[in-house]
Structures are given as C-alpha cells and as structure tokens.
Amino acid sequence: MNTKTQVAIIGSGPSGLLLGQLLHKAGIDNIITQVSEFSLA
C-alpha cells in the first residue's frame, strides 16, 4: 500500500514557516494558511 502524507499548517509565523520548510525537505506535501483579522466579505 502506497500512501501520501499531506499536512495543513495553520499560521504563517516563524514556526509555521519553519515547519513547512522541514516537511518539504522530508518530502511531505504541505500548505500554510494564515487567518487575517480583516475580512473582505
């Protein structure tokens, strides 16, 4: 069985960005999102 790990990181601060870089180097797909306190809606 071949599975692929995908990770969502909530927060684009220093630790979120570092985690994203480390996961990328380990070959793990990831996406980083940031919630803004301002809404365009």
Q: List the domain boundaries for the chain.
A: 1-35
Give the C-alpha separation, 28 to 11, whole Å. 18
State the Cα torsion 31-9-11-40 to the nearest 10°.
50
Give the C-alpha separation, 29 to 4, whole Å. 8
Backbone angles phi, psi at 36, to 5 degrees: -95, 150
User: Hey, CA dihedral for 32, 35, 40, 41, is it positive or negative?
Assistant: positive
pTM of the full predicted structure?
A: 0.74
User: Hey, CA dihedral for 22, 13, 6, 31, is it positive or negative?
Assistant: negative
**Tens-of-pLDDT digits for all 41 residues of the chain?**
678 899 999 999 999 999 999 999 999 999 999 987 766 65
